Amino acid sequence: MGIIADGKIVDFTFLFLIWAVAALYIWVIGGDKFNIRRMVAIDAIEEAVGRAVEMGRAVIMNIGGGGLLRGEYAPASMAGLTVLGYCAGITAKLDAELLCPMYSSGGVETIPVATELIRDAYMAEGTLDRFNPEEMIPFLPVQASVMAMADRVRPAANIMVGYYWHESCIWAEAFGRVGAIQVGGTTNLYQIPFFAGACDYVLIGEEIYPVSAYISKDPRLIATIAAQDTFKWISLLLLILGALLVTAGNTWLSNLLMN
Partner 1 sequence: MSTKIVRRTIPLIITFIVGMLMIGEWFFNVASIDQVAESVRQWGVLVSAFAMGLGSVNIVIRNLRRIEKREGTDWLYAIWLLIVFFGFVGIGVGMGSASSQYQYIYNTILQPLSGTMYPATLFFLCSAIYRTFRIRSYQALLFVATGAVILVANAPVVAATFPLLVATKAWIMDVELTAAYRAILIGIGLGTIMLGFRVIFGLEQTHLGREEGD
147-176 residues near partner 1, rule: CB under 8 A: 152, 166, 169-170, 172-174, 176
Amino acid at 85: G
Least distance in angstroms from the C-beta of 248 to partner 1: 20
Measured distance between the N- and C-terminal CA atoms of the chain, rounded to whole angstroms: 13
Which is nearest to 61 in space by CA: 177, 183, 168, 169? 183
Question: Does residue 178 touch partner 1 according to CB under 8 A?
Answer: no
Question: Does residue 240 touch partner 1 according to CB under 8 A?
Answer: no
Which is nearest to 64 in space by CA: 181, 158, 129? 158
In angstroms, rounded to a whole number, what is the distance separating the alpha carbons of residues 63 and 165? 12
CB within 8 Å of 246: residues ≥ 6 apart: 253, 254
Least distance in angstroms from the C-beta of 101 to partner 1: 11
Among 194, 201, 202, 214, binds partner 1 (CB under 8 A): 194
Least distance in angstroms from the C-beta of 202 to partner 1: 12
Which is nearest to 81 in space by CA: 60, 62, 58, 107? 62
Tell which positions 89-148 bind partner 1, by CB under 8 A. Answer: 89, 102, 105, 108-113, 116-117, 119-121, 123-124, 126, 133-135, 137-139, 141-144
- What angle separates helix 143-153 from helix 167-177, to the nearest 10 degrees? 10
Question: Does residue 28 touch partner 1 according to CB under 8 A?
Answer: no
Return the bridge partners of 162, or none. 186
Question: Does residue 75 touch partner 1 according to CB under 8 A?
Answer: yes
Provide the 8-state DSSP code for 140.
E
Question: Does residue 79 touch partner 1 according to CB under 8 A?
Answer: yes
- Contact code string over 51-70 relative to partner 1, x by CB under 8 A: ----------------x-x-
Which CB atom, from 54 or from 130, has the smaller least distance to partner 1? 130
Among 18, 36, 55, 94, binds partner 1 (CB under 8 A): 18
Least distance in angstroms from the C-beta of 250 to partner 1: 21
In angstroms, rounded to a whole number, what is the distance separating the alpha carbons of residues 171 and 188? 15
Question: Does residue 73 touch partner 1 according to CB under 8 A?
Answer: no
